[in-house]
Structure 1
Amino acid sequence: MTAIRAALFDVFGTVVDWRGGIASSTRTWLDDHAPDRTDIDTGEFADRWRAKYQPSMQPIREGRREFTALDVLHRESLLELLDEYALPTDAAEELNRAWHRLPPWPDSVAGISAIRESVIVAPLSNGNISLLLDMAKNAGLPWDAILGAEVVRAYKPTPESYLRTAAVLDLSPDQCLMVATHNDDLAAARGCGLRTAFVRRPREHGPEQSSSEPTDDWNYVVDDLLELGVLLRQ
């Protein structure tokens, strides 16, 4: 088999805890801007904001809207959500920046560092470059390169997002390993010729999530990124 030269990572959910991070930032924001709204479940707020994520990108995937950075899409979704909750919108941008400072999972920094000993490591994320840069600085993520979605002008799971990322790195798809906790992401990557690694993240969707399991025979299935680092050195 062709040697793997690069590990490309899904970020939201695989590398960082988007739900916990957004819930925590939302609570701080509410304390500052709507202190009387103690009725709001910030975990539910995070879930509802995330639920707008895929629909916001669909017009772009279908060619009905020109490419637009994820920061803009997140803010549009947030304004809708604040209206649904009858919350003030004048400080929306402050809360929108919460996506830039999401906390890493406990194994992420050490795991990516271990994987980096064997191959190039970079995000293959729908995030924009400034978002991913800020996140990396805040969380200490040791990427070799940061390739935001605007580099390839496409959003996963369209084939262009995977193929153009490989091309930017001057690699063939089968030299790239897609690392994700989402089976649909891995299926799309494999359809483009990338190798695949499934990482269990049983708390991505909060404490009530019951499991995180592969639904296909991916090249690697691991409990954390440290384990993947060991396997890639073998």
Structure 2
Amino acid sequence: MAPAEVKALLFDVFGTTVDWRSGVTRAGEELERRKGEDLRGVDWAAFADAWRAEYRPSMDRVMRGEIPWTNLDGLHRASLEALLRRFGISELSEEEKEFLVCAWHRLDPWPDVVEGLRRLRRRYIVAPLSNGNVALLTDMARRAGLPWDLILSAEWVRRYKPDPATYLLLPRLFSLRPGQAMMVAAHPDDLHGARRAGLRTAFVPRPLEFGPGGPTQPAEGPFDVVAEDFVELAERLGA
């Protein structure tokens, strides 16, 4: 059970709250239907996996100072160019490239998410704490009906997770101690970063994040709470 002093829950988004792989794959398939023969034979699920694999390296380049601060939309756009070459995709218009980049704004939540968040919101402040930029997270929330109390993003502090400044954003804004906030994620490395910053942690596995038969994230704790999904998390946290 969560310690009684926890007042706020912060949620990782990509993979924990929403299914990025299906959404990006769907966007590629829609573009293929529009363009026809030009895009026949592209493995869009593999394309989504490859795009996601660029996520951490691109943020690390920002954090090392190799490139100036760039939000996630900008990093996705830069990664896309290399991916198009790798997958032999040419002749996309700027509008079509933008359609693919904005697929990350149009991701669906896992089936338990909206109900779980609504229940948790009765007792706790609930907010995303994502490396996604504010516009991306806002578009996603409006489309998917995610009932956040506010949108928190690494963009506010211009530091990507696991930099401590990201995890301490909500405690700073609400004058809370770090231990009064709990990070919820399907990725142990994210939770370890939160724990180092003084936050409580909750692990919610998402075995289908990388598709059926894909790699899974083992529950390598210690975590304060482990729950099967957001509904069970609400039950465990008394909401």
Shorter-chain TM-score category?
over 0.9
- Output the CA distance in 2 between the equivalents of 1:229 and 1:60: 36
How many residues get paired? 234
Q: After TM superposition, what 4+ stretches of structure 1 lie above 6 angstroms from structure 2?
A: none
Deviation at 1:93, TM superposition (A): 0.7
Q: Are 2:127 and 2:148, in contact at CA under 8 Å, matched by a contact in 1?
A: yes
115, 118, 125: which one aligns with 1:113: 118
| 2:48 corresponds to | 46
* Aligned Cα root-mean-square deviation (Å): 1.5
In the alignment, which of 43, 54, 72 is matched to residue 70 of structure 1?
72
Residue in structure 2 matched with residue 189 of structure 1 by the alignment = 194
**What are the residue-to-residue correspondences of 1:71-150 with 2, within 5 Å?**
71-87=73-89, 88-90=91-93, 91-150=96-155
How far the C-alpha of 1:212 sits from its partner, in A, is: 4.2
Shift of 1:210: 5.8
Q: Is the 8 A contact 1:82 1:89 kept in 2?
A: no
Secondary structure of the residue aligned to 2:168 is: helix
Distance in structure 2 (CA, Å) of the matches to 1:224 and 1:35: 41
TM-score (ref. length: structure 1)? 0.95
Mapped contact 1:109–1:140 kept (Cα < 8 A): yes
Q: CA deviation at 1:2?
A: 5.9
Aligned equivalent of 2:35, options 33, 36, 43: 33
Q: Supply the distance in 1 between the matched residues of 2:220 and 2:209 (Cα, whole angstroms).
A: 17
Find the counterpart in structure 1 of residue 160 from structure 2. Answer: 155
Three-state SS of the structure 1 residue aligned to 2:18 is: coil
How far apart, in 2, do the equivalents of 1:185 and 1:84 lie? 29
Q: Residues 60-88 of structure 1: CA distance to partner in whole angstroms, max 9, x if unpaired?
A: 21233322110010011111111222223
Aligned identity (percent) is 47
Q: Secondary structure at the match of 2:182?
A: strand
What SS is found at the alignment partner of 2:37? coil
Q: Which moved more, 1:167-176 or 1:34-43?
A: 34-43
Change (3 A) 1:34 1:58: farther
Aligned to 2:22: 20
SS in 2 for 1:233: coil
Shift, 1:34, TM fit: 5.0
CA–CA separation in structure 2 for the residues paired with 1:149 and 1:160: 8
Q: Per the alignment, in what secondary structure is the counterpart of residue 124 of structure 1?
A: strand
Gaps of 5+ in 2: none
